Amino acid sequence: MNTEKNIKTLIVKKPLKLDCGKTIKDFPIAYETYGSLNSKKDNAILVFHALTGDQFVTGINPVTKKEGWWSYAVGPDKAIDTNKYFVICSNVIGGCMGSYGPSDKDPDQKVFGTNFPVITINDMVNAQYNLLDHFGIDKLFSITGGSMGGMQVLQFISNFPDKSKTVIPIATTSSHSAQNIAFNELGRQAITADSNWKDGNYTSNDTNPGKGLAVARMAAHITYLSKKGLQEKFGRKLQEREDLKFGFDADFQIESYLRYQGSVFVDRFDANSYLYITRAMDYFDLAKQFNGNLSEAFISTKAKFFIISFTSDWLYPTQENKDIVIALNSIGADVGFVEIESDKGHDSFLLDVPDFLSALKNFLDKSYEENKL
């Protein structure tokens, strides 16, 4: 455990063969837990984080000193009630919050940079699976996550069909669309176009491609919001000025807001990790792993699925979530689905959206009660 940063780490001794063909071993998985595991070990929920998330789901993140990314949903008496459930979340491999990633050093003590192997969603969940052994959990009560977290949920239950009783993919897709890939490529190009990126070797001379990473974050941030949400929050409001300045400073509040989002992101995220994780998302195509038949991915699981989408999410729209429902229905799987009304865009799953939080809570609590009978 890295006590300096309050990061708990599991060193995975077992070799893991990655999709790219390389094998890694003795690598760290940084994780955090909330609540307590009961004696029957049947109350564990594995939460998967999204692109820029980390293991610090709720409460104050000890590294960034900010609220955890899913503080609205996870905590005592919240939708994922930590009085009742034992919540585990780990940083994905390729990430930059303590799990094995491009800012780690290779066996020759040289920082990996772009020499880190390209990882996939499949590699991420295979690595995280080791946490079950670590905690001695035979079967999870639930697995959940939004966006890239949802992709990991789908991949996890496909890889380990009898390891979770319930499965809750949120605002996600079973296959990254051309539009999704296009936005990720825009972000990667912004990073690699920054002269400080230096083919990924920037850490050795302590100058980060912060400008490129900030632009990547700004572009991505727009995709997380809806047009209506942006219009209502910012409209054409001006930033601390009476009138337009006929220049290229941030005249509009939305410009200032995006610049701020970009700048705070650079402080907490590694540019190479951004490249690796967006690549993993782009490579995600669960149906392709089963010769184009998505249903086959779930054929051997008896888990109970609950899929949630949001009306104003145009990044992972309702139809892509419904495609997963359709694939499950076509094999008679136990699946529920709800589309939540929200004008907060893709980010809805991270925000205070009461209909979403109550649906999540009701599904979990009722399933848990039923389970006990």
Residue the block writes with tokens 């959206």: 353
Say whether residue 21 binds another protein (CB under 8 A): no
- Quickly list H helices, the chain: 121-128, 130-135, 148-159, 178-193, 210-224, 227-233, 253-268, 271-283, 318-329, 354-372
Say whether residue 287 binds another protein (CB under 8 A): no
Rank residues 90 and 348 by Cβ distance to another protein and give the closer one. 348
Say whether residue 296 binds another protein (CB under 8 A): no
- The structure tokens listed for 145 are 């996550």
Contacting another protein (CB under 8 A), which of 181, 186, 287, 326? Answer: 326
Contacting another protein (CB under 8 A), which of 340, 350, 353, 357? Answer: 340
- The structure tokens listed for 235 are 């409209």
Q: Which residues pair with 166 in a beta bridge?
A: 142, 304
Rank residues 253 and 295 by Cβ distance to another protein and give the closer one. 295
Smallest distance from the beta carbon of 363 to another protein, in angstroms? Answer: 6
Q: How far apart are the first and last CA of the chain?
A: 39
- The structure tokens listed for 123 are 């590699």
Smallest distance from the beta carbon of 307 to another protein, in angstroms? Answer: 9
CA dist 195 and 212 (Å) reads: 9
Subset of residues 342 to 371 that bind another protein, contact rule: CB under 8 A: 355, 358-359, 362-363, 366-367, 369-370
Say whether residue 341 binds another protein (CB under 8 A): yes
346: annotated active-site residue: yes
- Quickly list H helices, 42-94: none
Contacting another protein (CB under 8 A), which of 217, 304, 344, 346? Answer: 304
174: annotated active-site residue: no
Q: Are 132 and 359 in contact (CB under 8 A)?
A: no
Point out the catalytic residue in the list 251, 313, 343, 347.
Answer: 313
Subset of residues 176 to 205 that bind another protein, contact rule: CB under 8 A: none
Say whether residue 325 binds another protein (CB under 8 A): yes
Q: What angle do CA 91, 269, 95 make, to 5 degrees?
A: 30
Q: Which residues bind another protein (CB under 8 A)?
A: 304, 325-326, 329-330, 332, 334-341, 355, 358-359, 362-363, 366-367, 369-370
